[in-house]
Amino acid sequence: NSVNNGNLQTSQSKKHGISTHKNRVGIYASGETWNKNAFTQIAAVKLMGDFKIDVLPCNDRMKEYANQIGVEICGFKGGVSRSDLAEHLSGNLINLYVTFSECAPLLPLESLSYGIPCLTGPNHHYFEEIPILKQYLVVNEPDNPVEIAHKALIAIDRREEIIELYNAWALDNDITSKKTVELFLTG
């Protein structure tokens, strides 16, 4: 996968007037299933300190759990348009998409394209060529809230370096992605 949309970070920020919430963490496209891991990610945010969570979709069980552990959470059950999702993704300090599935997740690439670090699980091939980016963004134990929290705080601290490395990686990835599609189509 690739996010083939130029410099989303600049264009979307100007288009939507997006500002980053300095204390908000996003958890998107997760749910109650074991492979999406939303509850572990909510627990990780609690371990990070005084952060709020923006979750989509968000159900009553997630809200109850966040309330029990003392984390402020907002979100709703329904889906959102692509532009609304972009607004949510780009308005956070960091996004979490630490799942047990998703061998080529698009959401982390979108987040990074907006200039927002996004943690993932170890289930994709992204960042193999840039080990430091893999070290910063890939959580090796997706069911470990301590590791997720630790990596999230590092990613927040190293945000500029991560986005610079991602932008370099994305240029090469776009070329590789186009070649792969062309090869597939031509057989």
Could you write out the three-class secondary structure of 28-50? ECCCCCCCCCHHHHHHHHHHHCC
pLDDT at 19: 56
Q: Is the pLDDT of residue 18 over 50?
A: no
Radius of gyration of the chain (CA): 16
What's the pLDDT band for 16 if we cut at 50, 70, 90?
very low
Note whether residue 13 is domain-resident: yes
Q: Token pair of 27, please?
A: 């958890």
Chain mean pLDDT for the chain: 87
Residue 10's pLDDT is 41
Q: What is the Cβ-side half-sphere exposure of residue 181, based on CA atoms within 13 angstroms?
A: 8
pLDDT for 110 beyond 60: yes
Mean pLDDT of 146-172: 96
49 inside domain: yes
* Confidence (pLDDT) at 47: 98
More confident residue, 152 or 174: 152
Q: How far does the chain reach from its first CA to its final CA, in angstroms?
A: 19
Q: Is residue 81 part of a domain?
A: yes
pLDDT at residue 15 is higher than 90:
no
Note whether 137 and 148 are within 8 A (CB).
Answer: no
Q: Is residue 3, in this structure, part of any structural domain at all?
A: no
pLDDT confidence tier of residue 1, bands split at 50, 70 and 90: low
Q: Indicate the helix (H) or strand (E) that contains 75.
A: strand 73-75
- pTM exceeding 0.75: yes
CATH of residue 170: 3.40.50.2000
Task: Report the half-sphere exposure of 76 (CA within 13 A, side-chain side).
Answer: 6
Is position 93 within any domain?
yes
The number of folded domains in the chain is 1
Mean pLDDT of 84-108: 91
Domain assignment present for residue 1? The answer is no
For residue 24, the SS3 value is: strand
